[in-house]
A and B are shown apart, each in its own frame.
Chain A
Amino acid sequence: MRFSGWRVSLGALVLLAFGMPHLAFADGYVIAPKPWEMWLPQPGSPMEARIDHFMAFVLWIMAGVVGFVALLLAYVIVRFNAKRNKVPSTVTHNVVVEVLWTVIPAVILLVVAWPSINLIRYEADYQKPYMIVKVTGHQWYWEYDYKSVKGLDFTSYMIPDDKLQPGQIRRLSVDHPMVVPAGEKIEFEITSADVLHGFYLPSLGVQRYAIPGQIVHSWTLLTKPGTYYGECNQICGINHDAMPIEIQALPMDQYQAWVKKAQAEYADNTPNRTPAVVRPALVQLAQATR
């Protein structure tokens, strides 16, 4: 089930597929979905690498189970069809096989459960981050509040299809991506200002609901500088498919330079919240927040 062959030089493939001249990025390292992809995205974080590994493990076992059942069925179909076997047997019990087909699956499940529980613990360990970004889902954009940088709190909207610049990816690129340093542990404090949203970063292995009135924690660590994408993954209204997530990881020095610039540039870019009390008709609202 592991199509490592499909993983050939990501960046190149993406560029080819979209005919993109060049990305805004120094080294142009981009992890975005690829045409005809059949496996998980290229891992952008150690968490995704572990998920990838364990997914292959479980899927291989499951492929074995499905294959085994398919073989049994094929054998039965060929060997015991009415043409070949005129007289049916009358056997209705066999303690040995009945015990076996209870015990063997149980053992297989134990083999899966053990590493799986370790993975849960690993994914839950958001402690001791380098920095915290508070992520707030809104109808229909994201807001990133850098807890460690005073006043750095900005909104991130999808680029509408008719405003796409060359090099941007339709339905994935945003106006202000979240920018973080590569190689450092980042904690996300995920919440919502209105309905549920889903903060979903497939290439980093991160997914948590954004729930109003609650903070849900997760974390990541972007191994390499580059651009990573995600999407809202919990139905949230008319523009559910139009609030993607873009994260850029920079080397530390460039990140620090960006922070300085952003502090100045985004000073008055604190979220222009949609008024919650007076709500225009849904469709107009949707257009307005594009």
Chain B
Amino acid sequence: MSSTVIHDHGAHDSHAAHQPSFARRWLMSTNHKDIGTLYITAAVVAGIVGGGLSMLMRAQLMYPNNTIVSNGQEWNAIVTAHGLIMIFWLVMPALIGGFGNWFVPMMIGAPDMAFPRLNNMSFWFLVMGFIFVILGLVVGQGSGVGWTLYPPLTDSTYSPGVSTDFTLFSLHLAGISSLLGAINFIATILNMRAPGMTMHKMPLFVWAILVTAFLLLLAIPVLAGAVTMLIMDRNFGTSFFEPGGGGDPVLFQHLFWFFGHPEVYIMILPAFGIISHVVSTFSKKPIFGYFGMVYAMVAIGFLGFIVWAHHMFVSGISVDSRIYFEVATLVIAVPTGVKVFSWIATMWGGSIEFKTPMLFAVGFIFLFVVGGATGIVLANAGLDQELHNDYFLIAHFHYVLSLGAVFAIFAGFYYWIGKMSGHQYPEFWGKLHFWTTFVGVNLTFFPMHFLGLAGMPRRYPDYPDAFAGWNYVSSMGAFLSGISTLVFFYVMYRVFTSKVVLADNYWGEGATTLEWVVPSPAPHHTFEDVPVIR
């Protein structure tokens, strides 16, 4: 993607004149970069809270018969909040609201998002949602229903009190936030590309966000419907999911996973986008098989909507359903494989520099493949009967999320922090962060495969003593990961206190997308004149 840009380095100064007040800039922001920064800040805060909860959980599980968490209800509330926070307030805001807001307009040569005020509104809905999910954790006995919210446990009989209502409403708020964001991204990408930026010249990260936005647009309303029905069942005497009133708890599972499976791709497609850019930049080679990469994402997005009941193999769905959902799920591995092999082919023949972002990207590729492989195992309904809801499942989705999506977030952070802040991260500390994280998370999650095969169920605060060994190892890994986060905070400290001035394109020849032709940090208004792409 060769590009030329007519742009004016003086542009920055001409705007320095009307500096908005702090409140105006951050509380009423309409600038995509500022909103992106807000999203990333929110993700860091959520990451600290959600990560703190996971440290608590691993401390409890370090030994059998442990008493750090005082009872099962408290435990369930922690598990619920951890899952929801990590998904809706860490991974999604970082990848979509954060990097998406920052770089989609820049990469397509647009001055800003299509609807700047809507953009601001999306962010504040997210903050409200976060307050609600925390209330769901701390008010009363806490909402201990699991992130999957399955009724009847979610009903007012079994989860009395207002905390579960807080949790349910938090999903409405996060949902509206995502939905508005999705509309904004679709409008921006379809309408505001610079002249010459055809769809088939769009950078892969933009494609990834576009597909993600469509997934959100179709999936979030279904979640909203299901959550609304739960709220009605709890508070207004309906019985959508109550067998006593002719309702069906399994219906909820269908609705939830019709949202839930696309949701997992909502979390990973933007990560795919980031990894493509990082791999290409540090290999100093263009993406291998650009069209394959684009249409693999489109295919994954489409297939993501027709596999949902692989989460329900043990819910009593029929034999034919199990066979269909198994086969459909296996099919997704094909476009996923195309992505993985194309990344490796992009590296093949390259002149690869292993800076921190590239370390995280290569780490991502390997660990994502491990998670994908266990996904294939779980897709076999006959094996899922053995592994469903046990630690093998926990290992699977943490490999694709905590080691996949989160590695991509770090890759993106190290790749773009110079562009966002104007300061470079310290390479040594970045690499140290990578290696401590890599060792820590593998030590945490790999033993979970063994625990799962041996039959340890998920969402247990206490377990039979035979599971003690691997749980101890896993907790040690978790604490190492916790320490690695401190290294990351130190990296951030160094970034914000650095005085070094950065070039526009500090990665050099490999970085070819439009964000690399504007100064670092990117000025408040990116393009004073419309760039023209040839």
Interfacial residues, chain A to chain B (CB-CB below 8 A): 14, 17-18, 32-41, 48, 50-51, 54-55, 58-59, 62-63, 65-66, 69-70, 72-73, 76-77, 80-82, 85-94, 97-98, 101-102, 105-106, 109, 112-113, 116-117, 119-124, 139, 161, 169-172, 194-196, 198, 200, 202-203, 205-209, 211-214, 216-217, 230-242, 276, 279, 282-283, 286
Contact = CB atoms under 8 A, between A and B. Distances in A.
B222 interface: no
23 contacts: A33-B455, A58-B376, A69-B340, A88-B349, A89-B349, A92-B290, A97-B345, A98-B289, A98-B338, A105-B337, A120-B326, A139-B158, A161-B65, A171-B465, A198-B457, A205-B386, A207-B386, A209-B316, A211-B315, A214-B243, A216-B316, A240-B460, A241-B457
A106 B334 contact: yes
A235 B145 contact: yes
Nearest to A59: B377
Contacts of A169: 464-465
Given A89-B285, A231-B457, A105 B333 contact: yes
B495 interface: no
Contacts of A101: 337-338, 341
Contacts of A200: 389-390, 455, 457
Nearest to B319: A124
B157 interface: yes
Contact of B72 (A37, A202, A212, A241): A241
A109 B337 CA distance: 12
Nearest to A101: B341
Contacts of A172: 464
A80 to B, nearest CB: 5
Contact of B382 (A54, A93, A235): A54
Contact of A235 (B71, B146, B456, B463): B146
Interface string B100-126: 000000000000000000000000000
A73 B348 CA distance: 9
A211 B250 CA distance: 8
Given A18-B465, A209-B315, A203 B382 contact: no
Identify which of A117, A205, A207, A283 gathers the most chain B CB atoms within 10 Å of its CB.
A207
A237 B150 contact: no
Contacts of A65: 369, 373
Contacts of B326: 113, 116-117, 120
A198 B389 contact: yes
A196 B158 CA distance: 11
A279 B287 contact: no
Given A80-B351, A233-B458, 20 more contacts: A77-B354, A82-B351, A85-B349, A88-B285, A89-B350, A102-B337, A109-B334, A112-B330, A113-B326, A194-B158, A195-B152, A209-B315, A217-B316, A231-B455, A232-B457, A235-B76, A235-B150, A235-B153, A241-B463, A242-B72
B288 A93 contact: yes
B382 A94 contact: no
Contact of A39 (B249, B334, B381, B454): B454
A54 B326 CA distance: 15
Contacts of A116: 326, 380-383
A33 B461 CA distance: 17
Contacts of B466: 14, 17, 32-35, 37
Contacts of A139: 158
Contacts of B145: 235
Nearest to B290: A92
A73 B362 contact: yes
A122 B382 CA distance: 9
Closest 3 CB pairs of A and B: A213-B243, A202-B455, A119-B382
A282 B315 CA distance: 26
Contacts of A113: 326-327, 330
Most chain A CB within 10 A, of B73, B331, B351, is at B351
Interface of B: 64-65, 71-73, 76, 79, 141, 144-146, 150, 152-153, 157-158, 160, 243-244, 248-250, 283-290, 292, 314-316, 319, 322-323, 326-327, 330-331, 333-334, 337-338, 340-341, 344-345, 347-354, 362, 365-366, 369-370, 373-374, 376-377, 380-383, 385-386, 388-390, 450, 453-470
Contacts of A63: 373
Contacts of B79: 235
A40 B65 CA distance: 24
A200 B390 CA distance: 10
Contacts of B322: 120, 124
A238 B381 contact: no
A35 B351 contact: no
B354 A81 contact: yes
A50 B460 CA distance: 28
A241 B460 contact: yes
Choose among B333, B354, B385 the residue with the greatest number of A CB atoms under 10 Å from its CB: B385
B315 A88 contact: no
Contact of A120 (B287, B319, B454, B464): B319
Nearest to B296: A102
